[in-house]
């Protein structure tokens, strides 16, 4: 079927003119054709009335028939085009309805997923575990229950000596994660949003249940693996391991390439005069141009002048910001980075700062994951102390930076 435009065709726009011209031409040929044809020598002179009538009819009938056929064609053509245009409009409306339906379904899926995550979080929040005179709540209730009972030798499901309420609560919570993971994977939300949902849900899971695996590792190191309660192993430890693997697989399926994430972060940071950005084994290496001629060599059409280059590296606390703030910002924003190295030349010297994640957290007593969501920690505990306090700044650079002649 030919593609039908929503705009009217030339015939449709000029149907009255075409019809009038066709009728006029037909009338002309009907009445004047016998006269015209009789002027040629091969037509006999028409004398009798019946001869004139036969000649007129013989010429007029085909003309009238052709005109009728043509006008009938125009009518059917107009109907066909109107019908196709209506069908096209109907298809367009159906497509819009389908899109609206998809959007509504997607919104419903997002609401369901968010509500499910919220319900799991609420179930964790109501967890309580009392030991002696101390009552533990939330994730701590799960941790303390496991510490007290993981090596218990009795049947945790039936004994009155153990608190079965917490056991059943924890095992029930763990049954909620796998169906929700499958629901997110099968949903029609875009991959970027899926990644964000998985990361949030995995964060909730890690905060509440990752301790269980660390506790098991400790018990194994102590040689007490066989003493782990069989019921707790089957209903809690094994499900935790399975769910952790599911989260790892789901996040890996949807996460961006780590190099792309780093490149985008550096672009958004608006740091100038970067010569090289490398990422090897989750260790970032940021190297700056040695000098302005080096910048010109790599950039035949430089966007900045030599004066701007010199001002950038000699301006107040710019070097301090580059050496201290930006590496920490990268570690904070990108959980996958194990280390960040900045290689910055300035004032005929070269500063190479190597900042491993674990060493930074141990030295500063700052949790990067916590600082990522708490701006007060960034402002007060990091910037206020290690960037603007000269003594702390000097000690920080002494530990993590090396300065040499260029």
Instruction: Report the half-sphere exposure of 234 (CA within 13 A, side-chain side).
Output: 6
Burial state string for 259-295 with b = 16 or more CB within 10 A and e = fewer than 16: eebbeebbeeeebbbeeebebeeeebebbbbebbeeb
Decide the pairing of beta strands 401-405 and 128-131: unpaired
Q: How far is Cα 336 from Cα 357, in angstroms, rounded to an integer?
A: 10
Per-residue pLDDT of the chain (406 residues; tens, 9 = 90+): 444 455 667 766 777 777 777 777 777 766 666 666 666 544 555 555 555 566 666 666 776 777 777 777 777 777 777 787 788 888 888 888 888 888 888 888 888 988 999 999 999 999 888 888 889 888 888 888 888 888 876 665 555 455 568 888 899 999 999 999 999 988 888 888 888 888 889 888 988 898 898 899 999 999 888 888 888 888 899 999 999 999 888 888 887 778 888 888 888 877 888 888 999 889 999 998 888 888 888 776 667 788 888 878 776 567 777 788 889 999 998 888 999 999 988 777 788 999 999 999 999 999 998 888 888 899 999 998 898 888 998 899 899 998 887 6
Distances (CA, A) of 226 to 152, 189, 213: 11, 44, 15
Distances (CA, A) of 134 to 194, 215, 259, 286, 323: 40, 21, 48, 50, 46
330 C-beta neighbours (distance < 10 Å), count? 19
């Amino acid at each position: 079927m030919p593609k039908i435009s929503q705009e009217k065709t030339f015939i449709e726009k000029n149907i009255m003119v075409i019809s009038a011209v066709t009728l006029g031409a037909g009338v002309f040929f009907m009445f004047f054709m016998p006269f015209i044809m009789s002027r040629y020598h091969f037509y006999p002179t028409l004398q009798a009335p019946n001869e004139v009538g036969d000649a007129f009819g013989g010429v007029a009938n085909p003309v009238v028939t052709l005109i009728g056929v043509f006008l009938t064609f125009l009518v059917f053509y107009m109907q066909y085009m109107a019908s196709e245009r209506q069908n096209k409009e109907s298809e367009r409306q159906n497509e819009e309805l389908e899109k609206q339906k998809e959007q509504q379904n997607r919104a419903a899926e997002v609401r369901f997923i968010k509500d499910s995550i919220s319900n799991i979080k609420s179930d964790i929040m109501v967890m309580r575990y009392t030991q002696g005179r101390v009552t533990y709540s939330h994730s701590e209730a799960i941790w303390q229950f496991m510490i007290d009972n993981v090596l218990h030798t009795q049947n945790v499901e039936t004994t009155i000596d153990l608190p079965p309420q917490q056991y059943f609560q924890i095992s029930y919570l763990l049954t909620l994660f796998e169906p929700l993971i499958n629901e997110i994977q099968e949903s029609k939300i875009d991959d970027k949003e899926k990644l964000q949902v998985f990361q949030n849900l995995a964060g909730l899971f890690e905060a509440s249940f990752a301790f269980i695996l660390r506790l098991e590792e400790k018990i194994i190191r102590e040689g007490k693996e066989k003493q782990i309660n069989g019921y707790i192993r089957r209903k809690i430890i094994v499900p935790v391991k399975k769910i952790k693997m599911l989260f790892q697989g789901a996040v890996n399926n949807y996460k961006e390439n780590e190099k792309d994430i780093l490149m985008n972060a550096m672009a958004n940071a608006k740091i100038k005069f970067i010569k090289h950005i490398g990422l090897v084994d989750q260790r970032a290496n940021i190297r700056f141009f040695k000098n302005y001629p080096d910048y010109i060599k790599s950039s035949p059409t430089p966007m900045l002048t030599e004066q701007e280059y010199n001002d950038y590296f000699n301006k107040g606390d710019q070097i301090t910001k580059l050496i201290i703030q930006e590496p920490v910002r990268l570690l904070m924003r990108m959980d996958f980075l194990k280390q960040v190295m900045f290689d910055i030349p300035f004032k005929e010297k070269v500063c190479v700062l190597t900042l491993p994640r674990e060493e930074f957290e141990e030295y500063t007593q700052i949790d990067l994951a916590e600082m990522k969501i708490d701006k007060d920690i960034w402002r007060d505990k990091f910037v206020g102390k290690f960037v603007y306090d000269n003594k702390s700044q000097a000690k920080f650079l002494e530990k993590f930076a090396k300065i040499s002649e260029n």
